[in-house]
Amino acid sequence: MIRPKYFNFQLLGIVAIIVFVLVAKWQFLVLPSYWDEAYPYAYAIQYQVQNGISLLPDAMPADYSTGHPTLYYFLQAGWNSFVGGDMMFQRIFPLLIACLTLISLFIFTKRFFNIRIALFSVALLASRNVFFVQSSFQLPEMLIALLTILTLFSYLEKKMLAYIVFCSLLLWCKEPCYMIPFGIVLFEFFTLIMKKTSAVATIKSLVVVLIPVSVGFLFFLIQKIQLGWFFFPRHINGVSSDLLLIYERLKEYLKFILYYEDRKSTRLNSSHLVISYAVFCLKK
């Protein structure tokens, strides 16, 4: 049973972090769209607002959707239709999703670690530049983060119906999200092998875990029927199997993330990680 003072400490900690994010972000909600948010996302969302909101691939021009699954476009367009053209009110929707992401991370880490790790994890995420900046962007990243946490939580808690729902929604956000169920499949497979589970039981477990993949693939099947291709041709043309090119791209991405884009907060969050690890080691 949770003691009252412990409950108050938990509530105060998570509320304080969320209030800090909201207060710090409020002045930036009026800023115009930037980078990918400006094009193609803003164009795609506005097109749906003006021409009808839909989850179907042909709900907007292909140059706007660039072949991505349409769940976020659908939700943001629905919100924008309700609040109108004011940028500040439009940005409240992804900011609310970001707050739910922090709450979900708190619940997740508290369930599998402890209250101290939970609060440190939420503070760590909230202090990251990439989270702080994108928490009010009209982009799918906050929704992806939220659904990823809910998917992993549902799977680890063995709530398979919730897992299927959250993971299916996740796969209707963006193509890279397929790494989550595929990673879970590998984990499930090796876990069952180590437990020496029968072949029939193993296949049944893997089929259940893979159900969201079939739901997610429905989007690309519909896209093939409506537009004539599974994946956006421009994206496919940029794919290369040249190992040297892959290495150079990976090196540039890491350099951008760890040095050019976020070098100050990287050092700060390294300190956070050390503190979090120390707290974890002190866990009773």
Summary mean pLDDT of the chain: 88
Is 275 a residue whose pLDDT tops 60? Answer: no
Q: What whole-number percentage of the chain has pLDDT above 70?
A: 88
Is 1 a residue whose pLDDT tops 50? Answer: no
Burial of 76 (0-12, 13-18, 19+ CB in 10 A): buried
Range list of H helices, the chain:
4-26, 41-51, 62-65, 71-83, 87-112, 115-126, 129-134, 141-156, 160-171, 179-194, 199-227, 233-237, 243-255, 263-281
Identify the three-state secondary structure at position 178.
helix
What does each C-alpha distance from 227 to 51, 52, 174, 219, 231 come to in angstroms?
18, 18, 18, 12, 10
Task: Look at residue 264 in the predicted model and tell me its pLDDT.
Answer: 55
Token readout for 272 is: 């956070």
- The residue among 158, 172, 180 whose CA lies nearest residue 65 is 172
Is 141 a residue whose pLDDT tops 90? Answer: yes
Task: Look at residue 92 in the predicted model and tell me its pLDDT.
Answer: 97
Query: pLDDT, tens digit, for every residue of 206-246?
Result: 999 999 999 999 999 999 999 999 999 888 877 777 888 88
Query: pLDDT, tens digit, for every residue of 51-70?
Result: 999 999 999 999 999 999 99
Q: What is the mean pLDDT of residues 243-253?
A: 86
Give this prediction's pTM. Answer: 0.87
Token readout for 177 is: 């999200």
Is 4 a residue whose pLDDT tops 60? Answer: no
Q: Which DSSP symbol is given to 135?
A: T
109 within 8 A of 1, measured Cβ to Cβ: no
One-letter amino acid for residue 277 of the chain: Y
